[in-house]
Every structure is written in structure tokens, then in C-alpha cells.
Amino acid sequence: MSAPQVVVHRDKELMAKAAAARLITKIVDAQAARGSASVVLTGGRNGNGLLAAVAEAPARDAVDWTRLDLWWGDERFAPDGDPERNYTQAREVLLDSVPLNPARVHPMPPSDGRYGKDADAAAEAYADELAAAAGPEDHGPVPSFDVLLLGVGPDTHVASLFPELPAVYEQERTVVGVHGAPKPPPTRTSLTLPAIRAAREVWLLAAGADKANAAAIALSGAGEVQAPAAGARGRSRTLWLLDEAAAAQLPRGLYPPASA
């Protein structure tokens, strides 16, 4: 697993724009090298802020949207179209504005779909979908995602893996149902840490003073059960994208400011 790299931007708006430019370039390079790209999206303000910045980016259409596979790191277990769903929010800020191939967009199941209100069955079905998309060259029963995006909660949660709750202990399954999540809604589906760690690159997004403590804890050697963000590592790269407010409590030697 790769050691975390930290890049700090002046504020959350610049962080979103810089992360969007970085993501576009990563996708374009992956498509040039392998003919397609695979990205895992996340929910929350920073995740959606990045997607909104991609939508406005001058280089947006350098991406061949028809050859992009989109997955989700977690989902609020709600009916299809519910405004609370990460999929609904991603569609609003970006996905409905670009020519994606619907067959390559993989939302996690809603609570009014084939699996009804059974979040565990929905999680198992998504794990099967991931396994079906994995190839012999992949590291386990998930595709080798080019970039797996994660927001970071003030309690250091990532996806729907919350400190000390059962899902963060999962080492076998790639997707689990989450019950009693402290961040509403309480029922969710989420990739597990082993699935997250199958990604080539993991990018963690955190902006705002309310994330400063979480970033400092996760980047100062905390264990993954107490600080799930600490366990979110990519095979070849782990990148923390912060604004200065979220970086305020980091040990000084950890980074030079990336933008004045």
C-alpha cells in the first residue's frame, strides 16, 4: 500500500477545481493507455463539489465519456431518485450533462429495487456486479479502479465506514450493508476497506476547519478501526487533497502548501 501524499490548496473552491483538473487528466491518461478508465465516486459536499468542478472544467470533454466506468464507494439506502442518494446528486451536478454509456454506470441498488428494503442483499448484489467486472489481472473480486474518490467525515469516516462500527472490521466481503450509521440516513451500502485498497489510486478530499482534526488523526498513524480514513490506501498512490483549513492541524513537515 502506498504512503499518503498530501496536497494543500488555498480554499475549498480551488481544491475542487484543482482536483477536477487532476481527475480529468488521470482519466484521459488511463483511456490513452488502456482504452477505458474506471472511477469510483463518493457522496458529500466535497465529492459533489469535485464533480461540479469537472462539469465546468475547460478540459471536460477531453474525456471520452463513453469509455468511462463509474462505480460508487457508498450509497444512502433510499428509493431510486431520492434526492438524498449519492447517485441522484452526481447525476444532477455532472452525469446528466455528459454522454456516458449507461451500461458502464453502476449505481448501488436503491431501497425500492429488486432487493427491496434488504440493504444486505443489495450490498451482496453490488459485490457480485463488481466481481463480474473484475479481470484476471485485477487484485481480487473488484476491477482495478484507476481512481477511487473518498470524502472524509469529521469523525474520519470514509464511504460509509464509521469508526468502530462493524463494516470497518470487514476483511472478506467487498460490499456490505451498513445499519445505524451516525451520519443520516442510518441505512447504507458501502465498499469495505479491502475493496477500497484494490484501487490503483485513492484520493481523499477534505476541506474546511471541521475536517482538520480528522485529517491530523488519520495522517498521524491512527489505526483504521478508530480512523477508517487511515486505512484508505491505494495500491500505487494515496493522495490527500485538502484546503488550508483542513490542513491546519497537520504536522508541519508533512507538506509544503501547494498553492499560495
Positions that interact with ligand 6PG (CB under 6 A): 42-47, 74, 76, 86, 151-153, 157-159, 183
Contact 220, 251 (CB under 8 A): yes
Task: Give the residue with the Cβ less far from ligand 6PG, 16 or 24.
Answer: 16
Report the alpha-carbon distance of residue 24 to residue 12 in Å, rounded: 18
Report, in Å, the least distance between residue 218 CB and ligand 6PG.
13
Contact 108, 79 (CB under 8 A): no
Closest by CA to 69, choosing from 27, 109, 108, 32, is 27
Report, in Å, the least distance between residue 158 CB and ligand 6PG.
6
Report, in Å, the least distance between residue 151 CB and ligand 6PG.
2
Report the alpha-carbon distance of residue 61 to residue 134 in Å, rounded: 27
Report, in Å, the least distance between residue 132 CB and ligand 6PG.
24
Task: Give the residue with the Cβ less far from ligand 6PG, 69 or 74.
Answer: 74
Task: Give the residue with the Cβ less far from ligand 6PG, 10 or 260.
Answer: 10
Report the alpha-carbon distance of residue 260 to residue 257 in Å, rounded: 7
Amino acid identity at 146: D
Task: Give the residue with the Cβ less far from ligand 6PG, 64 or 84.
Answer: 84
